[in-house]
Chains A and B, each alone.
Chain A
Amino acid sequence: MTDIYLDNNATTKVDRAVVDAMIPYFLEQYGNPSSIHKFADGVARGIKQARQQVQNLIGCEHDSEIIFTSCGTESNSTAILSAIKAQPNKKEIITTTVEHPAILSLCEYLEKEGYTIHRLPVDKAGRLNLESYKKLLSDEVAIVSVMWANNETGTIFPVAEMAEMANAAGVMFHTDAVQAVGKIPMMLQDTKIDMLSLSGHKLHAPKGIGVLYLRRGTRYRPLLRGGHQERGRRAGTENSASIVGLGKACELALEFIEYENTKVKAMRDRLERGITEQIPHCFVTGDLYNRLPNTTDIAFEYIEGESILMLLNKAGIAASSGSACTSGSLEPSHVMRAMDIPYTAAHGTIRFSFSRYNTMSEVDEVLKVMPGIVATLRKLSPYWDSINNAPVTNPEQAFQPTYA
């Protein structure tokens, strides 16, 4: 049996067609797009085509609104730092408690520099409260940055509505759409979103290429200054092969967007149903009715995620976990904590994220091994009563280890 890859929210396999599209830009058209000779004359055309392919996928009005960057993190940093540089008198930023570290770490840093950061909390299903969001919008706010979809649970935030609200209050709106682009349809020209980040490696393009969408007319200050590349908005020689690859990947993503929301979703649903029906004391986290079609995040109570991953890996299955141990930190994932998932479950969350390369028979394979893996680890758990095959009565009281 070949290995099963269910960690597509972490990164994806590069599509063969993407690799094929890139190769000429390493071996033949390797000239600097700024040069005037035959090694370069096709590069500008290739980049222009890629810009249009990205434009088609995200539905923006002009291809000049696409700025190629090195990754999602660069796009995020550029967006937020641009907003505060362009509006130096505004000292507040609105974001959420469940953003990716690419946003949260930057905000923490800006907090030290004197910025006020409003982090919108989420409820137990990972949803935001738009009323409290509305109250925070003011002239003091430089930018709102809210992810389109959460990387761990797949929960989708109402960014279009939130952008309207920000726009009405005269506040810039940025969305980290790294997990959403290519998985759900979008038409940016119909929204008031000013900036959007996307990352190539989440949609079968290579790592090291990203995009910042910048609505025409949005006040902007570049992060990298230098040459005239990207119309002076992001200096540095173009990563031409990867840009072309990203373009191809966007074209394919658009082609497969219906497949993603029907076939891929069906695989996710079958796995989720199978696991929750067969295994006691587990539950799906996030907003079940408003999620990415490819993601399920399941909390297995009384056991720990890294152990589950190691046993899954032994069975040839790749997934990921929100447990503390997998990251080397002392706390479980901030997303699980924000949703108030109890520690006994938060450490045991496993995220399965699909792509169009997965198959139904892979789902069946996972369903075959998962109950055994959970049972094996529960046998070792001090919170589990092996004789009755159930949690001990009052688990949190029954086992209270000493800790300073």
Chain B
Amino acid sequence: MWDYSDKVKEHFFNPKNAGAVVDANATGEVGSISCGDALRLTLKVDDATEVILEAGFQTFGCGSAIASSSVLTEIIKGMTLDEALKVTNQDIADQLEGLPPEKMHCSVMGREALQAAIANYRGEEWKDDHEEGALICKCFAIDAVMIEEMVWANKLRTVQDVTNFTKAGGGCAACHEDIEAILEKVLAEKGEKFDPNAAPVETPVKIAAVKAPLTNLQRIKKIEQVLESLRPSLMADGGDVELVEVIGNTAYVNMTGACNGCQMAAMTIAGIQQRLMEVMGEFIKVVPATEMAKLVNIEAVS
């Protein structure tokens, strides 16, 4: 079964705020019964201050769906509606000490129910803006719909293209057959044929591979170039990366925005490292800058 955190189990076995709020004045209903997840969130909002006084949930769903609903109601109680709108699905997942990639959509459902409930209170109509497909890349939690859209929008042709644009397939590589199947399908719809050896499409910044050895200055410039080329795909997820220091073959980076504290940060760093090594033709170790102080100190002592 899933490797749920203790926090998920705690909220599943002893859910908080289960059931509908009796005199609720905001209701949000989201989910899909065909997928086996559906959530009704009811709120009692103070009309004068717009503070959420009470929150209750009713969930049809798995352990993590119930835990996400429960923790969501705990997070938003006492917030104003504007504060509550800033709650992200990552906040929900963080409060639960993480969710398996296949279950991140449970936290998304929580955030959407909240948006729907607030829209309901304000007399607006809420529209779901995302469509979810089958999960393809488990390392980076990228689904089929996302990959298809990127293939269409950017005229992608190879698995490497898909990895460059979406990160999908950049980790363990087990999903490459599935990505090829998507490419085959989309290219067929466009009247083209999938060719695994096709030349990759232009990536945002094209960097020619270099021959080692490099001087330290060349190395730093090259690392910056590579990071620059990777930033668009990180920024698409609301994250970013900056280079802090280079000591020998080790590059210290800061993961910022959504990347900061994201469970995928370690995978992302591994992806960056791999890309750097490909381009630079030498071993490069990428380490979060938070680790730097310790290491520098050790070096200073020794």
Chain A interface (Cβ < 8 Å from any Cβ of B)? 302-307, 309-311, 313-314, 323-326, 328-332, 343-344, 347, 379-383, 386, 396, 399-404
A382 touches B36 (CB 8 A): no
Residues of B within 8 A of A304 (CB): 36-37, 60-62, 65
Q: Mark B131-163, 1 if CB is under 8 A from A, else 0.
A: 111110000000000000000000000000000
- A324's contact among B15, B19, B36, by CB below 8 Å, is which? B36
A326 to B63, CA, bound (A): 10
A307 touches B12 (CB 8 A): yes
New A-B contacts (20) at CB < 8 Å, excluding given A330-B34, A331-B34, A401-B32: A304-B37, A307-B12, A310-B12, A310-B63, A311-B13, A313-B1, A325-B64, A325-B65, A343-B34, A347-B33, A379-B18, A380-B66, A381-B58, A382-B58, A382-B60, A401-B30, A401-B38, A402-B116, A402-B126, A404-B130
Residues of A within 8 A of B37 (CB): 304, 325
Residues of A within 8 A of B18 (CB): 379-380
B132 touches A379 (CB 8 A): no
Residues of B within 8 A of A323 (CB): 36, 62
If the complex has contacts A324-B35, A329-B134, A401-B31, are A307 and B61 also in contact, measured as CB distance less than 8 A?
A: yes
Q: Does B102 touch A at the CB level, under 8 Å?
A: yes
A403 touches B30 (CB 8 A): yes
B38 touches A402 (CB 8 A): no
The 8 closest A-B pairs by CB, nearest first: A325-B62, A306-B62, A328-B102, A382-B58, A347-B36, A404-B128, A382-B40, A401-B29
Q: Which residue of A has the minimal Cβ distance to B126?
A: A402
A177 to B294, CA, bound (A): 60
B128 touches A307 (CB 8 A): no
Q: Does B259 touch A at the CB level, under 8 Å?
A: no
Residues of B within 8 A of A379 (CB): 18-19
A401 touches B126 (CB 8 A): no
Q: Does B76 touch A at the CB level, under 8 Å?
A: no
Q: Does B189 touch A at the CB level, under 8 Å?
A: no
- A306's contact among B15, B40, B63, B128, by CB below 8 Å, is which? B63
If the complex has contacts A343-B36, A382-B40, A399-B40, are A302 and B60 also in contact, measured as CB distance less than 8 A?
A: yes
**Most chain B beta carbons < 10 A, residue from A311, A332, A344, A401:** A401
**Most chain B beta carbons < 10 A, residue from A303, A309, A347:** A347
If the complex has contacts A324-B35, A330-B132, are A402 and B29 also in contact, measured as CB distance less than 8 A?
A: yes
Q: Does B39 touch A at the CB level, under 8 Å?
A: yes
Least distance between A374 CB and chain B CB atoms (Å)? 13
Q: Which residue of B has the minimal Cβ distance to A400?
A: B29
Residues of A within 8 A of B211 (CB): none
Q: Mark B4-38, 1 if CB is under 8 A from A, else 0.
A: 00000100110100110000000001111111111
21 contacts between A and B (CB under 8 A): A304-B36, A304-B37, A304-B62, A305-B62, A307-B63, A307-B66, A325-B63, A326-B62, A331-B34, A331-B35, A347-B33, A379-B19, A380-B15, A381-B59, A381-B60, A382-B58, A396-B33, A399-B38, A401-B31, A401-B38, A404-B131
B36 touches A401 (CB 8 A): no
A401 touches B39 (CB 8 A): yes
A344 touches B33 (CB 8 A): yes
Residues of B within 8 A of A404 (CB): 127-131
A305 to B60, CA, bound (A): 10
Residues of B within 8 A of A386 (CB): 19
Least distance between A340 CB and chain B CB atoms (Å)? 13
Least distance between A212 CB and chain B CB atoms (Å)? 26
**Most chain B beta carbons < 10 A, residue from A344, A379, A402:** A402
Q: Which residue of B has the minimal Cβ distance to A309?
A: B1
Q: Which residue of B has the minimal Cβ distance to A324?
A: B36
Q: Which residue of B has the minimal Cβ distance to A330?
A: B35
B36 touches A325 (CB 8 A): yes
B61 touches A403 (CB 8 A): no
Least distance between A403 CB and chain B CB atoms (Å)? 4
Residues from 39 to 96 in B contacting A, C-beta threshold 8 Å: 39-40, 57-66
Q: Which residue of A has the minimal Cβ distance to B15?
A: A380
A403 touches B62 (CB 8 A): no
A21 to B283, CA, bound (A): 52
A332 to B126, CA, bound (A): 27
Residues of B within 8 A of A347 (CB): 33, 36, 60
- B1's contact among A303, A326, A343, A403, by CB below 8 Å, is which? A326
A307 to B37, CA, bound (A): 11
Least distance between B81 CB and chain A CB atoms (Å)? 19
A404 to B9, CA, bound (A): 29
Q: Which residue of A has the minimal Cβ distance to B29?
A: A401
If the complex has contacts A382-B39, A402-B127, are A328 and B66 also in contact, measured as CB distance less than 8 A?
A: no
Residues of B within 8 A of A309 (CB): 1
Residues of B within 8 A of A330 (CB): 34-35, 132-134
If the complex has contacts A324-B35, A343-B33, A386-B19, are A401 and B40 also in contact, measured as CB distance less than 8 A?
A: yes
Q: Which residue of A has the minimal Cβ distance to B32?
A: A403
Residues of A within 8 A of B116 (CB): 402
A390 to B256, CA, bound (A): 49
Residues of B within 8 A of A303 (CB): 60
Q: Which residue of B has the minimal Cβ distance to A323?
A: B36
Least distance between A299 CB and chain B CB atoms (Å)? 13
A306 to B67, CA, bound (A): 13
B59 touches A382 (CB 8 A): yes
Residues of A within 8 A of B13 (CB): 310-311, 314
Residues of B within 8 A of A380 (CB): 15, 18-19, 57-59, 66
Least distance between A46 CB and chain B CB atoms (Å)? 37
Least distance between B136 CB and chain A CB atoms (Å)? 12
Residues of A within 8 A of B127 (CB): 402, 404
**Most chain B beta carbons < 10 A, residue from A332, A379, A380:** A380
A396 to B38, CA, bound (A): 12
Least distance between B146 CB and chain A CB atoms (Å)? 13
A17 to B128, CA, bound (A): 58
A402 to B64, CA, bound (A): 20
Residues of B within 8 A of A331 (CB): 34-35
Residues of B within 8 A of A305 (CB): 62
**Most chain B beta carbons < 10 A, residue from A306, A309, A344:** A306
